[in-house]
Amino acid sequence: MSKFLVSVFFCAIYYVLIDYNSPLPIDSSMNIILQLLYFSLVSFVVRCRFYFVFLLNDSISNAAGLGFEGYDEQNRPKWGLASNIDILSIELSMNARNSLNSWNITSSRWIRRVVYERVSWSPTLASFLFSAWWHGFYPGYYLGFFTAGLGLMASKKMRRWCNPFFTSHGPVLKWTYHVATWVLTQAYMTYSCLAVSLVWFPAVWTFWSHHYFVPTVAPLLVLLLVPSRQSQRHKDSHDVNGDVKSGPSSDSNTKQD
């Protein structure tokens, strides 16, 4: 019942803000801050449709007895096996990977098994292109998913350089870093996800050209110019002689990175 009521809440939000369902036409008189706020609102309205559908589906599955996963520490039943969305993780995520992993969860796991863990060349990009093909054949799907893949790979590389420095020099710098990464993540996800929503190439081109294609070019420059750096988890999986440590967790940790 709680999931059903929350789904109705997001449905109501969508119909109240339905006029903001498309980012076009674009008001060129807006400054960059107002544009960011406006397009973030547009992106949120688009997500509300999916929040409604995902949560409604989840509540129906639970009412039918599907999705039970056991009991928690207080012996309360948990009903999360049929869940396809983690709204708080999406809205509050400070990196693209957590945000994407919280969207259409079961389909993401399926794509990981059938694509990410099977291809040897750029599994992240291959997974996003496969997801675009799976959704359909509109140009906006391929542009949006391709850009999201680039952003995810670039954010991984930058996080390995920046995270150790900012999170180890006091709480002020740490929380400044967290707020900045949250803003960048939300802005970038808005940029790529609205391309999927716009569908057609002329609309996507108009939307992106208004931002001078910066969110597309920036991750390409990061991937080409910023040197790679091993993550700490990857380093921890090797001993001093360079051999991989034995144990079931070393392979999974490397894949997560």
Q: Say which of 101, 104, 163, 253 is annotated catalytic.
A: 104
Of 243, 98, 124, 118, the C-alpha closest to 185 is: 98
Q: Is 101 helix (H, G, I), strand (E, B) or coil?
A: helix
Q: Check if 135 is active-site.
A: yes
Q: Check if 84 is active-site.
A: no
> Cis omega (within 30 of 0) on the bond before 25?
yes
CA gap 18, 141 in Å, rounded: 22
CA gap 117, 204 in Å, rounded: 31
155 with 99: CB under 8 angstroms?
no
Q: Say which of 57, 98, 135, 234 is annotated catalytic.
A: 135
CA gap 206, 110 in Å, rounded: 34
Contact residues for 58 (Cβ-Cβ < 8 A; gap 6+): 3, 67, 82, 83, 84, 85
What residues act catalytically? 104, 135
